[in-house]
Amino acid sequence: MIHIYYSYLSEENHQSLLQNDLPQFPLDYQEKIKRYRRWQDAQLSLLGRILLFKGIEETYKKKPGAKQLLQTFYNKPYFEDNRVLFNISHSGEIVVCALSDQHEVGIDVEIITDIETADFKPQMTDIEWTKIARSQNKKEAFFEYWTQKEAVLKAQGHGLIVPLKSFEVLDNTTEINGEKYYLSEVKIDEKYKCHISLKTDAGEIYLKRVII
């Protein structure tokens, strides 16, 4: 089972988060949060960490000691001494965190905005772009593909070193370097698109909103 925790930004509770939650994390991370100029940016990052550790404690009954995260060569965060695999994404006013104790997982959430989708044509395959162009709702179709492709890259772990156009999403599956990835939509908010990706069918998804 994949567990997904999510939360919305709250300006009203921001100072409480800084005073009560931030001190639980390593000093270098605390300093990073304090350097943000906009409270929204600081909270988006902090909420991701809060959701991650809340999910670990609730789902796997573990309490990571120093709450220290390491990073791979491709900047994907991980635990050195914890088997829980995770991925975090945020957009607009939503933060999401996906957790698994069996599979690498990627998740991407994007708010559906008024962008010039044609600017992103080079990132899509011909088949993907044709489907977007022929869709009655081009923006929604674009963000459908965008979150799918981003989620796959995050599950694969090498990030944008893998060109988005180098793999094609078809029927919620795709392949990168001979490895197959499966995709599932996560319906959180009608103003957003969200997908998760794994190397296996996601099966049952547990979705929980956290009120801060």
Span of 12-26, 60-74, 108-122 with lowest mean pLDDT: 60-74
pLDDT in tens, 91-114: 999 999 999 988 999 999 999 999
Give pLDDT, residue 143. Answer: 98
pLDDT tens, residue by residue, 75-89: 888 887 778 899 999
- Give burial (CB, 10 Å; 0-12/13-18/19+) of 73: exposed
Of 65 and 18, which is predicted with more confidence? 18
Question: One-letter amino acid identity for 158?
Answer: H
pLDDT in tens, 179-207: 999 999 999 999 999 999 999 988 889 99
What's the confidence (pLDDT) of residue 66? 58
Q: Is the pLDDT of residue 62 over 80?
A: no
* CB 17, CB 212: distance < 8 Å: yes
Q: Note whether 194 and 109 are within 8 A (CB).
A: yes
- Domains recognised in the chain with CATH numbers: 2-209 (3.90.470.20)
What number is the average pLDDT over the span 144-151?
97
More confident residue, 76 or 138: 138
Q: State which of 24-28, 38-42, 114-118 shows the largest mean pLDDT.
A: 38-42
Q: How many angstroms separate the CA atoms of 174 and 180, rounded? A: 6
Per-residue confidence (pLDDT) for residue 179, from 0 to 100: 94
Q: Residue 202: what pLDDT?
A: 82
- Please list the residues that pair with 2 across neighbouring strands: 205
